[in-house]
Amino acid sequence: MVASWLTALERLAHAREKAGLTRALRPRSADDPVVDLAGNDYLGLAVHPAVVASAGRALVAYGLGATGSRLVRGSTDAHAGLERDLADWLGTESALVFSSGYLANLGAVRALAQYGTLVVSDRYNHASLIDGCRTSGTEVVVAPHADPVGVAEILDGHPGRPAVVVTESIFSVDGDLAPLAALHEVTTARGALLLVDDAHAVGILGPQGAGGVAAAGLAGAPDVVVTATMSKSLGGAGGVVAGPQQLVRHLVDTGRTFIYDTALPPAVAAGVHEALRVARAADDRRALLRSRAALTMSRLSAAGLRVSDPAAAVLSVWAPGPEAALTWAADCRDRGVAVGCFRPPSTPDGSSRLRLTLNAGVSAEDFERALDVIVECAP
């Protein structure tokens, strides 16, 4: 029996290798010298002195971990203060911190998708939203990408039924922006809720970097729920669900990904809280990211590469196939530039590409060199 199931796993691994879909862990040192265009630290706050100092003070005060779930011993002053300021920043009545953005999305979708609810999910949604839909126990319809008319047709085909429309704001692969205002018009007219994963827009778009929902003028709308991760622009870890107080109460009482999970370490919560303060005042960093996004698209397009039009700090560069994408990313890495390599199933359309994530903490000289390397290593 043991031999048979291990043999089956080996066959699956061989099939993935033939298809160019193997993955590898590559541990990095603290002084890793590569130019980082693969990580998600958009504002460069993971190493900001004030952020690191705040986390260090909390580490001394609270110790390494939270020591329990939020409902046992895991809730601290650090969590409560972070939640208050997240709600204020995002313009919502309340906010609840999870240990990861993935768990926040699972919890939010499952909380909103009660029995009999129709869930309408954008075709390009992140895996965490897809998994939330799959485990919701209710009917899920996949909508055409960023298509309010398509969403309206789906909802109109289920009149009178409670519904939730699920989308990202900035989509995580190509970096395009969802038409949030138009989607909200569709959901409001039909009595549906709108759930927006703002992970790649928080810190980048909107007033004081409050995100794509705020940029669309929807902050605080009673029929809009916002989720986000704190592992991107805020440079730390953890996730948040923000919306009406009744939703947060429901999650505290019933959310399995909240109740049964050990809390985010207090030191991380404190560091993220300081990063939030820095991010709100970081208009200069946001302006730098906008200029770098425009420069990246211009330079790579001029070199004959197909590049997505970035709405924030994420963009993709198409590769001929999964093996070509792997080789391209490896060649860049060998020349000191880290880029993301996205292949199926991470890409919703089945194509492969490099994903570039811009970082305001990278020097101008290193950034220019990184663009040269990407062009020179192109297949």
- Phi, psi for residue 131 in degrees, rounded to 5: -65, -35
Interatomic CA distance for residues 152 and 66, integer angstroms: 44
What's the pLDDT at 228? 98
In which residue ranges of the chain is CATH 3.40.640.10 found?
Answer: 49-280
What's the rounded mean pLDDT across residues 294-311? 96
Q: Where are the alpha helices (DSSP H) in 281-337?
A: 283-302, 322-334
Residues 356 and 315: beta-carbon distance below 8 Å: yes
The answer to whether 289 and 344 have CB atoms below 8 angstroms apart is no
- Does 3.40.50.300 match the CATH number of domain 31-45+283-376? no
Query: Tokens 């895991």 label which residue?
Result: 74
- Fill in the DSSP letter of residue 167: E
Q: What percent of the chain has pLDDT over 90?
A: 90
Summarised one tens digit per residue, pLDDT across range 29-68 is 888 899 999 999 999 999 999 999 999 999 999 999 999 9
The interaxial angle of helices 283-302 and 364-376, nearest 10 deg, is: 30
What's the pLDDT score for residue 24? 84
Residue 102 has pLDDT above 70, yes or no: yes
- Position 363 scores a pLDDT of 96
Is 49-280 a CATH 3.30.70.270 domain?
Answer: no
**At a CB cut-off of 8 Å and minimum separation 6, what does 375 contact?**
299, 300, 303, 305
Give alpha helix (H) positions in 63-114: 77-90, 101-112
φ and ψ of 243, to 5 deg: 175, -155
CATH code 3.90.1150.10 region(s) in the chain: 31-45+283-376
pLDDT value, residue 18? 86
